[in-house]
């Protein structure tokens, strides 16, 4: 940053010195020549005018010039001198020599141009510089005439030395300013960025507790806030992954141990006893089901998150679907005393991916069953709301602590005191969230500790585009 700033300051200073000091004289002379050319042009335009003398005098007075207009033979037609005895022409014309005019005329003719500007050498002590502009033209009658314009060139040494002094001050001030500004900016930008880079390096090496401290400009602060949030998320996911591995291996080990020990029991003890054998085989099959359920959820979420599963929306009747889903729980209702009820309203036609929504329902109902209260009641409530339908899955279980609510839809999240007998991976609600997000359906949960929870989502009954087709 310091280098760029100094480079920038140096470029500005070089340009300033170049134009204000080095090229000053050349620029001044070019300007003078241009002024003389313009004056000559004006004289040419008025050569045949009755006001000719007047125009020439005006030009000479206004611009402090000496102007001589002669015919082809250098006979003076008009002479205006505002430079007085300083004029080179004065002596020549006063004494009627016109020699100098002749020599200028010859130089013009030799140059084969219609006009030239000459800077005559200074004679003796006369240190006033001059520029003489000579032009040849023809008047309306085809007669050749010459215009000689003389102007003094003020010495600019004094001006140049003032400018030089000023530029020296400017140079010193500018470099000091650039130094102070870069020091200030580096404090506000570079230093925080260097700090952020150092923290990022630690972070890349796996130190997720590192904090990004980017105090400086708002943008740098914003960057460090984003990095902190990203860091928190990554460290959360990493710790959740660790938990998952611990959970999953624990959850896999339990059914595997049971399967192994029951298989051994069949081999060693109950093989010949059909009743016992059936019972033990039943346990093995149940545990194998739990295992495949676990593996399926992990695969399902991975597919959903990698967008491998493309949604194929279809129209279906909500009541029909609900009845199908609930029929799977009939055994639970009858054998284990659960009370799963569907509080329905008028049937609606839904438009979404049936299999995906079925999965949402199963996950939410299974959770309600797993975490329900002593009344073993799970209520599925349909609420028609204008152009959408809300489904609520209600239980009267322990409920969820308000502080934990925002996390329960996170991947691998399981409540710290999740029921021990519930086989869970912390993936169920995450699958629900991903599917509902993909559909663009709103969803949420409200819960009161000790009273139970209400998980809900809203479906748009039919797709408007679909209807219009």
By the criterion CB under 6 A, which residues form the site for ligand ADP?
Answer: 367-368, 371, 395, 397, 400, 408, 413-415, 418, 424-430, 453
Helices (H) and strands (E) in the chain — how many of each?
A: 14, 12
Q: How far is the CB of 246 from ligand ADP (least distance, A)?
A: 13
Cβ 247 to ligand ADP, closest distance in Å? 8
Helical segments of 269-380, H only? 274-305, 318-327, 330-335, 354-370
**Which residue's CB is nearer to ligand ADP, number 371 or number 457?**
371
Based on CB atoms, which residue is closest to ligand ADP, 354 or 418? 418
Task: Look at the block and give the residue holding tokens 């010459």.
Answer: 146
Closer residue to ligand ADP in complex, CB, 275/417: 417
**Closest distance between ligand ADP and the C-beta of residue 395, in Å?**
5
Q: Nearer Cβ to ligand ADP, position 133 or 411? A: 411
Strand pairing report for 339-343 and 115-118: unpaired
Four-residue CA torsion sign, 194, 200, 204, 206: positive
Provide the 3-class DSSP secondary structure of residue 273. Answer: coil
Among 145, 112, 146, CA closest to 132? 146
Residue closer to ligand ADP, measured from CB, 223 or 298: 298
Q: Check residue 312 and give left, alpha or beta (phi > 0: left; psi -120 to 50: alpha).
A: beta
Closest CB 303 distance from ligand ADP, rounded Å: 17
Helices (H), 18-150: 24-45, 52-63, 88-94, 99-111
Burial of 469 by CB count in 10 Å (0-12 exposed, 13-18 middle, 19+ buried)?
Answer: exposed
Instruction: Find the shortest distance in angstroms from Cβ 333 to ligand ADP.
Output: 18
- Residues 160 and 98: their CA atoms lie apart, in Å, by 37
Question: Is 87 or 367 the residue whose CB approaches ligand ADP more closely?
Answer: 367
Instruction: Give the count of alpha carbons within 13 A of 384, CB side only.
Output: 13
Least CB distance from residue 408 to ligand ADP, whole Å?
4
Write down the least CB distance from residue 434 to ligand ADP, Å. Answer: 11
For ligand ADP, give the closer residue by CB, 9 or 364: 364
């Amino acid at each position: 940053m310091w280098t760029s700033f100094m480079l920038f300051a140096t470029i500005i200073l070089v340009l300033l010195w170049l134009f204000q000091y080095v090229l000053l004289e050349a620029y001044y002379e070019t300007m003078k020549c241009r002024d003389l050319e313009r004056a000559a042009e004006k004289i040419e335009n008025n050569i045949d005018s009755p006001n000719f003398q007047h125009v020439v005098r005006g030009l000479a007075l206004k611009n402090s010039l000496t102007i001589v207009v002669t015919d082809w033979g250098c006979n003076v037609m008009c002479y205006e001198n505002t430079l007085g005895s300083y004029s080179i022409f004065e002596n020549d014309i006063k004494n009627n020599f016109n020699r100098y005019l002749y020599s200028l005329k010859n130089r013009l003719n030799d140059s084969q141009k219609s006009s030239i500007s000459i800077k005559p050498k200074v004679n003796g002590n006369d240190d006033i510089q001059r520029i003489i502009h000579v032009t040849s033209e023809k008047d309306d009658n085809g007669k050749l005439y010459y215009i000689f314009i003389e102007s003094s060139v003020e010495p600019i040494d004094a001006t140049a030395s003032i400018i030089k002094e000023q530029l020296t001050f400017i140079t010193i001030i500018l470099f000091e300013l650039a130094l102070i500004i870069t020091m200030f900016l580096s404090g506000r930008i570079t230093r925080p960025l260097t700090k952020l880079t150092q923290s990022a390096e630690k972070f890349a090496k796996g130190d997720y507790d590192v904090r990004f401290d980017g105090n400086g400009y708002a943008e740098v602060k914003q960057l460090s806030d984003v990095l902190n949030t990203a860091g928190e998320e990554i460290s959360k996911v990493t710790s959740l992954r660790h938990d998952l591995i611990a959970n999953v291996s624990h959850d896999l080990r339990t059914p595997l141990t049971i399967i192994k020990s029951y298989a051994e029991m069949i081999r060693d003890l109950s093989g010949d006893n059909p009743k016992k054998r059936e019972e033990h085989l039943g346990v093995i099959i149940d545990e194998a089901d739990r295992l495949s359920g676990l593996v399926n959820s992990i695969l399902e979420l991975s597919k959903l998150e990698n967008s491998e599963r493309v949604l194929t929306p279809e129209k279906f009747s909500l009541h029909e679907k609900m009845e199908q889903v609930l029929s799977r729980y009939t055994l639970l209702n009858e054998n284990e005393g659960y009370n799963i009820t569907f509080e329905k309203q008028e049937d609606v036609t839904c438009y979404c991916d049936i299999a995906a929504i079925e999965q949402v329902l199963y996950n939410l109902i299974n959770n309600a069953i797993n975490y329900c209260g002593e009344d073993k009641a799970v209520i599925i409530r349909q609420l028609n709301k204008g152009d959408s339908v809300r489904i609520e899955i209600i239980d009267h279980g322990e409920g969820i602590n308000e502080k934990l609510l925002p996390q329960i839809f996170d991947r691998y999240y399981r409540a710290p005191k999740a029921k021990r007998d519930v086989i869970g991976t912390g993936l169920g609600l995450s699958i629900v969230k991903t599917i509902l997000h993909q559909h663009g359906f709103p969803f949420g949960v409200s819960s009161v500790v000790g009273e139970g929870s209400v998980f809900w989502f809203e479906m748009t009954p039919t797709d408007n585009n679909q209807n219009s087709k």
